[in-house]
Amino acid sequence: QVQLQESGPGLVKPSQTLALTCAVSGASISGGDYWTWIRQHPGKGLEWIGYIYKSANTFYNPSLRSRIAMSIDTSKNQFSLTLDSVTAADTAIYYCARDPSRAGRGQFDFWGQGKLVTVSS
């Protein structure tokens, strides 16, 4: 059974960088899956942030691309997200998820429990 667990600060100040990590168990982060971040604004729908695949390949939501970076730590079997220059509009629950589909086109079969990140001074 694949399990994912998000971690990171729950409060970030405006203009600073949001940084989250997703620890994966039950699957190798170096395998053929697409490791994904998705967020959900309070009371709203789901928004795909992007994925990282085999350490070097990334694909980001065009609307967030200029502020995002994702990376993988194979030694810890985890992947990470940073989001720069945050504003209150980035307040959301951030989920990490696995996408085992052939081309990372969305088929999120395992999700973390979600991390609420609030942007506030």
Q: Which residues form the interface with other proteins (CB under 8 A)?
A: 36, 45-48, 50, 59-62, 95, 101, 105-109, 111-114
DSSP letters spanning 90-120: G-EEEEEEEE-STTSSS---EE---EEEEE-
Closer of 72 and 115 to other proteins (Cβ): 115
- The tally of CA atoms less than 13 A away on the side-chain side of residue 6 is 27
Least gap, CB of 47 to other proteins (angstroms): 7
Least gap, CB of 117 to other proteins (angstroms): 15
Closer of 16 and 114 to other proteins (Cβ): 114
Least gap, CB of 109 to other proteins (angstroms): 5
d(CA 55, CA 17): 21
Closer of 14 and 32 to other proteins (Cβ): 32
Least gap, CB of 105 to other proteins (angstroms): 4
CA distances from 6 to 62, 63, 106 (A): 23, 23, 19
d(CA 11, CA 39): 15
Closer of 74 and 107 to other proteins (Cβ): 107
